[in-house]
Structure 1
Amino acid sequence: MVSALGPIGRLGHWTATHVRAVAIVWIVLAIGLGFLAPRVEHALSGAGWEATGSESVQARDLVDRNFQGLSSYALMVVVHSASQTAGDPAFRQTVTRAEQALGRSEAVTTVVAPQAGVSISRDGHTAVIQAGAARNANEMVRAADDLKTELAALGTDAVRVDLTGASGMWSDFNEANKTAMMKSELISWPVTLAILVLAFGSLVAAGLPLMLTIVGLVTAAGSLYLGTQLLDISIWAMNFALMFALALGIDYALFVVMRFRGAFFGSGLSAEEAVSETMDTAGQAVLFSGATVLISLSAVMLVPSPAFRSMALGIMLSVIFVLAATLTLLPAVLAKLGPRVDKLSLPWVRSGEHRSARFAAWGERLWRRPWGYGLAALAVLVVLATPVLHLDTGMPSIKVVPQGDGSRQGYEAVQRAFGPGATGPLQIVAPAGEAAKAAAVAQADPAIAQVMPVQRGAGGTALIQAIARTDPSSKQMGATVDRLRADLPPGALVGGAVAENHDLEQVLADRTPLVIGVVLGLGFLLLLVALQAPIIAAVGVATNLLATGAAFGVAKLVFQDGHLAGLLGFEAQGFLDAWGPVFFFAMIFAISMDYTVFLLSSAKEHWDRSHDPREAMVGAMAHSGRVIFAAAAVMVAVFFTFALSGPLPPKEMGVILGIAVLLDAALVRLLLLPVLLRLLGHWAWWSPRWMHRVLPDVRFGHA
């Protein structure tokens, strides 16, 4: 039997007959990397939202080097009182204590005291202290983590002290995001277990996806910690790694365990033989599914931003470990369990029930009436996708930070005292000889409300800070940055947090079509290799794109237009965060391809056996429909828990991914794609002769 198996089947046979060796390897990995996992949270970076090599990053580096670190990631401390002014003793004492606290920090190079007419408001009720950054952006966010509580404690009933600015904002946002993620996980785990028990019908079987998730997450977390020793990795990488470890662990375990139970019970095969047969079929589909997920996420690496690349890296690590565990640890555990995989079963569960009569009946109904169901599904998807034509994006505003957090309180106090643009000054760095001209250009710009006195720095450079008339997150700010760059003398650079956001947004806009094109192209090629049929491979990619467009159409209605804002508990920014189209597209496409591979690999298995289009379509629905339905139910539940808690970006992630999975499973994989298989008939599996000579022979049926 072993000689008739493919490579994945032979791997499954080896793991089934070497259970102890496989277990030892994974125990060593889990303990070794698990020992490092608790350290990862403190090692991950809180910043990285920048376009590597952009003009704004160059300007920040010059300001850090020549102006004592008073760049976009310098610390900004706001001292504010409704009843006292900067001249009152209690107010002055609070300012002095805040300056001393900043001066004691090793992350601070210099402390700039509040100055009348510059950083003390006209009414005297608000004063701003600046502290130069002695470290890079990521380290300054960590410094804000350490300092914000101490600074806030210096306040009194009459005087408030808040740490704000880019470092303070990202510190508060990351903390709120972490709290939201933990809350969502506490809700999602019991929901996930309940759905898995219903899907598997057995407590033992239901525990296998959770085993894969835990192993994948622990090993990925330990690997991320090792990665932080070499490069900065965003704290978001851990959040997304958790989500994908859970999602894919469930998907893969559902597919493999259900196939194992069908092969083992009532077949007369031993547990080892059933594992070998399972991995030769379902295991191969899992491998292709994992490859499509990795390909989709690898395209995000084309965005030159540390945050994006490290988030993609974190997810890819979790996928690699979950995939490795599915192909080695899971078959070994199944071989060891044998008939005990159905232990602690629900009363109505029948062992070995692999073919679903209900989904077979649904497939027969779609075969008889393809046009009605197909056109209805297509109409719903097109209607939902239409709003995406008017989707606007932008970098996150202060609204992503919870109302009561210090950075938001300080931000709003500065805007009230100094004007809407004071929270995001543009920093113009120019050669000293061009300083006067650069200042004049900034002063003449209609969008600039105030230009601060020129500061002379080291290296023959000058710094001009320009305060805009509008909020830093307004659309006009991007036009202002572009206009200044066009009018300023050669050698002048425009930086500051606003310019950094603008540059990253521009890079995202420029790279998004490339990322989407690469994902679609590589996804098609992988499906082509797996299915050996160009028409159905193209259909699989096109339907993925339709479901993704519908999800972003819903996102436009919710997050840009503000529908359901009250129910979900957020303030609409009037746009979707700029990372959404590129990053969420890759994530949605990866999950969609996951389901596509499961459905079409099953259809190909039946086609190779019977060459009957009806058997291919109905058989695929009968054998994979329940897996897709159960996996989607878990993921929708998990994603929607993220939509109900925390700051705005996790809500965006939860709603967009949850809606995408719901639409993809309900309208695409279980309705539209089977209808297209029905309408295409034999043409779905057509391929030119030369393709068979070029492509490897991939079969999902057990020989």
Structure 2
Amino acid sequence: MNPAPTAATQADTAPPPTRPASPGLLGRLGAWSAQHVKVVLAAWILVVVALGAFAPQVTSALSGAGWQADGSQSVKVRQLAQQHFAGDASSAIEIVVTADQPVTDPAVQHVITEATRIAAADPRVSTVVAHQPGATISKDGRTAVLLAGAKASPDDMVRAADHLKGPLAALSGHGITVHATGASVLWSDFNAANHDAMMKSEITSWPVTLAILVLAFGSLVAAGLPLLLTMAGLAASAGSLVLISHLFPVSVWAMNFAMMFALALGIDYALFLVVRYRSARMGRSLSSTEAVAETMDTAGKAVLLSGATVLVSLSAVMLVPSPAFRSMAGGIMLAVLFVLGATLTLLPAVLGKLGHRVDALALPWVKSGEHRSPRFSGWGERLWKHPVRYGAVALAVLLALAAPVIGLRTAMPSITVLPQDASARAGYTAVQDAFGAGAPGTLQILTPSGTAQEVAAQVAHTPGIAGAMPAQPAADGSGWSMIQAVPTVDPSSPQLAHTVDTLRAELPKDTLVGGAAVENLDLQHLLTQKTPLVIGVVMGLGFLLLLIALRAPLISALGTAASLLSTGAAFGVARLVFQDGHGASLLGFHPQGFLDGWAPVFFFAMIFAIAMDYTVFLLASAKEHYERSGNPREAMVGALAHSGRVIFAAAGVMVAVFFTFALSGPLPPKEMGIVLGVAVLLDAALVRLVLLPVMLRLTGRAAWHTPAWLDRVLPKISFSHG
């Protein structure tokens, strides 16, 4: 006697409709693209060629600075110092000359003269201030510091550092060493080291990515489709960033993150659409155009919603008034827009043209057109039978990994994130050896000239200050005077923040405290202040988008909240690795004792965007099945059967890409690789493939209930075709 068929088996064996349903808006867009392949291809070729022509300029055109808190005291000090004190600002370039003999030796003086000539010849340098006894010559007389004043913006001073540090280092020899250092050189070295590391990681990840793509798609032709989307999106976004950089500075990191997100989302979206396209054609007499229309009406809506969620998540970073953060978020958003546009137009056109040839060069064990995975269907049935057992284990693991977040500390990166042979770090070390631990973090204090002497005396007697120079009035008669004060501690020491707070609290209100180290402190304070706001806005907007799309407040709220679990667990692991140093020797770095300050805000937005990407795929598929069957069991099991493999494969690619960054040299790419890789791994394995299905099981029909008042307000969006 045969058992009664379940809802799942009924769905599988139900005969396909004899006539395709009337397509919706996205279905009509997909059908039009499939019917006008030449027009779509020509349009995209035009866009890629026109914008891609500017892409080779992306590295040189984008800015290297911008890591600042706009409107802060330290930024005001830098601007005033550049304007009234001959460029003696935090963005000035310090040239450190150390020798085995006194700096008064003719050979050393010749090198100093050459260094002065090289720096003065750069149009971005205002003037070169010579070394001065008792100020910029060490007590042993063997180290001298020249100051190349900032005549240009901080971004241009980073470019000046790019050009000057090589020729200056070439003057070294015969017991004399020359290093450029200071904030501008630090960012120059920092950007170069991270760019090289990210390029190395991306090259390393390509073979792994391609292998996973072939396994996931099952054919070489289909595996190439994500690359088509990625290449089109990257070329267009790179050229756009170059053009935008003529209007306002765009961080060079914007392109690095844009490349990473374009690849990740291109793979996700292509996987979802291609798998759904195969399903539409399997065992049915649909034409390529009809299959594309059905694909776009179902999976296309999920992709559009996913893209909107990613954009919303990243837009919250714009709430942080820092040029680097805003331009990085903007760069990623631009790449997402181009990839999304290619997914909704270019991919349907290619699918329509390929037809059944999308399965060309298929692997021997792959069933062409297979859509419902028996393995993930079986996993869904197991979760339906034992939801508490599996849900409790997953929840316990996530909470245990998230627990260390309670003791997480953040700060801006220290000099140790640079390689030891980097110019900025070598010069930094030389300055510390010659002038004391706090010398690289010299404070710049601006005060009205009328009270300058009293303020200078007060600064000199402030705890945490090793010494202060006499007040120097501005030569242009602006009424400002500058006091340079050397702290007693290294610029990355937490004690420096206390010293700066003391000065700002006790000095007259019209006195400003700044300097390169203080700019980092002000940025860190801003990030700490804005983090709760960014998190709240990201989650609120993410929930709102899910609510509009799913029209189900309960599961929208649960899906949004579940994203916090993988995020918290990822930062818990980050604390154990980067703050406490567990596994530091394996990954090849020395722990700073904290996580870089920009990680919580920026990484949270990125993790939430990726997590919601998977949430949308799973819940959109569940909604489609619920609309067709009205059965909560089929909604949960069918969603896993149809989207589980896509989520698993997409996460596999992302984890492989992110973990290659953990092997990179500098510390920031390691942090990014570990935090994002762990987050994606945990989110896909424990949240989207365990906890969220368990939530669907436990809430049943209530998960999809729409209150009457909400039903009247929300738009009617269906994820089933027709």
- TM-score bracket for the superposition, by shorter chain length: over 0.9
- Within-5 A mapping of 1:305-316: 305-316=322-333
**Aligned-pair Cα RMSD in Å:** 1.0
Q: 1:365 to 1:157 in 2, by over 3 A?
A: farther
CA distance in 2, matches of 1:480, 1:529: 50
- Within-5 A mapping of 1:370-389: 370-389=387-406
TM superposition shift of 1:3 = 7.8
CA distance in 2, matches of 1:570, 1:168: 22
Name the residue aligned to 2:413.
396
1:575 is matched with which residue: 594, 597, 609? Answer: 594
1:514 is matched with which residue: 529, 533, 536? Answer: 533
Deviations 1:386-418 (A, max 9, x none): 111111110111011111111101101111111
State whether residues 74 and 512 of structure 2, in contact with CA within 8 Å, keep that contact through their aligned partners in structure 1.
yes
CA distance in 1, matches of 2:29, 2:480: 63
TM-score between the two structures when normalised by the length of structure 1: 0.99
Deviations 1:342-388 (A, max 9, x none): 11111111111000000001111111111111000000000000111
Deviations 1:233-252 (A, max 9, x none): 00000000001000000000
Name the residue aligned to 1:647.
666
CA distance in 2, matches of 1:613, 1:639: 35
Name the residue aligned to 2:495.
476
TM superposition shift of 1:257 = 0.5
Name the residue aligned to 2:145.
128
TM superposition shift of 1:254 = 0.3
3-state DSSP of counterpart to 1:462: strand
Deviations 1:586-605 (A, max 9, x none): 00000000000000000011
Name the residue aligned to 2:335.
318
Name the residue aligned to 2:109.
92
Name the residue aligned to 1:656.
675
CA distance in 2, matches of 1:340, 1:476: 65
CA distance in 1, matches of 2:665, 2:48: 30
**Are positions 1:222 and 2:239 aligned together?**
yes
Name the residue aligned to 2:250.
233
State whether residues 434 and 489 of structure 1, in contact with CA within 8 Å, keep that contact through their aligned partners in structure 2.
no
Deviations 1:504-551 (A, max 9, x none): 111111111111000010000001011111110010011101110110
Name the residue aligned to 2:542.
523
3-state DSSP of counterpart to 1:355: coil
3-state DSSP of counterpart to 1:420: coil
Name the residue aligned to 1:427.
444
TM superposition shift of 1:654 = 0.9
Name the residue aligned to 2:575.
556
TM superposition shift of 1:652 = 0.8
Name the residue aligned to 2:75.
57
**Are positions 1:144 and 2:161 aligned together?**
yes
State whether residues 438 and 489 of structure 2, in contact with CA within 8 Å, keep that contact through their aligned partners in structure 1.
yes
CA distance in 2, matches of 1:560, 1:437: 42
TM superposition shift of 1:490 = 2.6
3-state DSSP of counterpart to 2:145: strand
Select between 109-118 and 24-33 the one with higher mean Cα deviation. Answer: 109-118
CA distance in 2, matches of 1:417, 1:612: 75
CA distance in 2, matches of 1:389, 1:183: 34
TM superposition shift of 1:157 = 4.0
Deviations 1:115-139 (A, max 9, x none): 1221111112221111101101000
State whether residues 359 and 622 of structure 1, in contact with CA within 8 Å, keep that contact through their aligned partners in structure 2.
yes
Q: Output the amino acid matched with 1:644.
A: L
CA distance in 2, matches of 1:300, 1:557: 26
Q: Output the amino acid matched with 1:515.
A: V
CA distance in 2, matches of 1:650, 1:223: 25
Deviations 1:314-333 (A, max 9, x none): 00000000000000000000
Name the residue aligned to 2:218.
201
3-state DSSP of counterpart to 1:377: helix
Deviations 1:407-461 (A, max 9, x none): 1011011111111110011100111101112112211111000101211102111
1:279 is matched with which residue: 296, 303, 309? Answer: 296
2:625 is matched with which residue: 584, 589, 606? Answer: 606
2:607 is matched with which residue: 588, 601, 608? Answer: 588
1:330 is matched with which residue: 343, 347, 351? Answer: 347
Deviations 1:454-494 (A, max 9, x none): 11102111000010000111111111111111111131111
TM superposition shift of 1:265 = 3.2
CA distance in 1, matches of 2:461, 2:133: 24
CA distance in 2, matches of 1:568, 1:442: 43
Name the residue aligned to 1:253.
270
3-state DSSP of counterpart to 2:672: helix
3-state DSSP of counterpart to 1:4: coil
CA distance in 2, matches of 1:205, 1:618: 26
Q: Output the amino acid matched with 1:535.
A: L
Gaps of 5+ in 2: 1-18
Q: Output the amino acid matched with 1:67.
A: F
Q: Output the amino acid matched with 2:264.
A: A
1:418 is matched with which residue: 435, 460, 464? Answer: 435
State whether residues 21 and 721 of structure 2, in contact with CA within 8 Å, keep that contact through their aligned partners in structure 1.
no
**Are positions 1:12 and 2:33 aligned together?**
no
Name the residue aligned to 1:24.
42
3-state DSSP of counterpart to 2:97: strand
Deviations 1:574-595 (A, max 9, x none): 1111111110000000000000
**Are positions 1:340 and 2:357 aligned together?**
yes
Name the residue aligned to 1:616.
635
3-state DSSP of counterpart to 2:659: helix
Name the residue aligned to 2:307.
290
Q: Output the amino acid matched with 1:39.
A: Q
TM-score between the two structures when normalised by the length of structure 2: 0.96
State whether residues 2 and 13 of structure 1, in contact with CA within 8 Å, keep that contact through their aligned partners in structure 2.
no
State whether residues 442 and 484 of structure 1, in contact with CA within 8 Å, keep that contact through their aligned partners in structure 2.
yes
Q: Output the amino acid matched with 1:520.
A: M
State whether residues 563 and 683 of structure 2, in contact with CA within 8 Å, keep that contact through their aligned partners in structure 1.
yes
CA distance in 2, matches of 1:230, 1:87: 47
State whether residues 453 and 470 of structure 2, in contact with CA within 8 Å, keep that contact through their aligned partners in structure 1.
no
Q: Output the amino acid matched with 2:271.
A: L
Select between 448-457 and 3-12 the one with higher mean Cα deviation. Answer: 3-12
CA distance in 2, matches of 1:587, 1:546: 15
CA distance in 1, matches of 2:454, 2:591: 40
CA distance in 2, matches of 1:203, 1:360: 26
CA distance in 2, matches of 1:134, 1:293: 39
Name the residue aligned to 1:546.
565
TM superposition shift of 1:566 = 1.2
CA distance in 2, matches of 1:348, 1:124: 75
Select between 308-317 and 478-487 the one with higher mean Cα deviation. Answer: 478-487
CA distance in 1, matches of 2:296, 2:363: 26
State whether residues 67 and 523 of structure 2, in contact with CA within 8 Å, keep that contact through their aligned partners in structure 1.
yes
3-state DSSP of counterpart to 2:95: strand
CA distance in 2, matches of 1:257, 1:157: 65
Deviations 1:39-58 (A, max 9, x none): 11101000000011111111
Deviations 1:20-79 (A, max 9, x none): 111110000010011011111101000000011111111111100000011000000111
3-state DSSP of counterpart to 2:148: strand
Name the residue aligned to 2:171.
154
Name the residue aligned to 1:75.
93
Identity among equivalent positions (%) equals 64
3-state DSSP of counterpart to 1:62: helix
Select between 642-651 and 468-477 the one with higher mean Cα deviation. Answer: 642-651
Aligned residues: 702
Q: Output the amino acid matched with 1:15.
A: S
1:669 is matched with which residue: 670, 673, 688? Answer: 688
**Are positions 1:690 and 2:719 aligned together?**
no
**Are positions 1:104 and 2:121 aligned together?**
yes
Select between 195-204 and 102-111 the one with higher mean Cα deviation. Answer: 102-111
CA distance in 2, matches of 1:613, 1:172: 56
Q: Output the amino acid matched with 2:645.
A: R
